[in-house]
Amino acid sequence: MYAGGCSAATLSGYTNAERELMTDFLGYKNKRVVVSGCFSGIGEATARQLLQLGAEVHGLDYKQSKLDLASFRLVDLRDPASIDAAAAAIGGKVDALFNCAGLPQTSPPLDVMKVNYAGTRRLTEKIVPLMGQGSAIASVASIAGLGWSRRLPVLMELLQIDSYEGAVKWSETHADVVREGYSFSKEAIVVWTMMTAASLIKGGIRMNCTMPGPTQTPMMAHFEAASQRSVLEAATQPINRRSSPEEQAAPLVFVNSSVASYLNGVALPVDGGLLGGIATGRIDPRTMMGSAS
């Protein structure tokens, strides 16, 4: 199989130029991309798919990646200096950024906020100056962030703070709002994406995020430890299974691709139909809180 998903037999009747176009439908060949969280899970699957599509992949993570990347740097998103050093070392032009790093709700709430929101935002803001017309940013949020609209005023209060240190201080003083950190950090990613996309597009840079449903990654063990089994199972409705990391990586790769050039400011549910079921009354959202009658 070719990277674009067409077999050799399928392409046998085409010219070399036509074959090249069809196998690079998403436009990643020789593009320079950055993937945070590439050690495992969705980030690793994303980096692997990008490599298969011919991209020059630069990886960032707290743990060493085993993939054959153009470069890899150890980065701690809880440490602004670490983030700044990594962005500076990447240098050059960046065509796409994939923010896949994250911590589960079993980690200390402040660490969760640092990695899932403050660190992700700082990394993005350090990479943006390396991006130009036609480039794109995609971040991993979560269906745990579905409640963003109910907390929009407080989320906007946080988002108006433009420094890493300020965001951390705000999180410390609003522990009652942040709570376990995971849901609030993902809500923040959703709203930050929508807000920032409106300004970045003026310079030709698109920004979107995905909202994965339950996904079978190494992080899932932490979700199982922190949540009732019935709640996790309810979140897989109506497809009634967990997604694979590859199934979450593919939409990320798509939204940052050249064929998605008019897709901007979108929080894309990749949840097997859960949000659609809730919106149309086919799924009772209380089942995800363990309180359905």
Distance between CA 265 and CA 277 in Å, rounded?
23
**Calculated CA dihedral for residues 105, 144, 244, 31, nearest 10 degrees:** -100
φ/ψ of 220, rounded to 5, equals -60, -35
Catalytic pick among 28, 117, 164, 182: 182
Listing DSSP states for 163-220 in one string gives SHHHHHHHHHHTHHHHTTSHHHHHHHHHHHHHHHHHHHGGGT-EEEEEEE-SB-STTH
- On whether the CB atoms of residues 186 and 104 are closer than 8 A, the answer is no
Q: Nearest Cα to 75, choosing from 94, 55, 60?
A: 60
Query: Is 2 designated active site?
Result: no
Q: Nearest Cα to 240, choosing from 272, 279, 288?
A: 272
281 Ramachandran zone, left/alpha/beta (phi>0; psi -120 to 50) = left
Distance between CA 172 and CA 178 in Å, rounded?
8
Known catalytic residues?
182
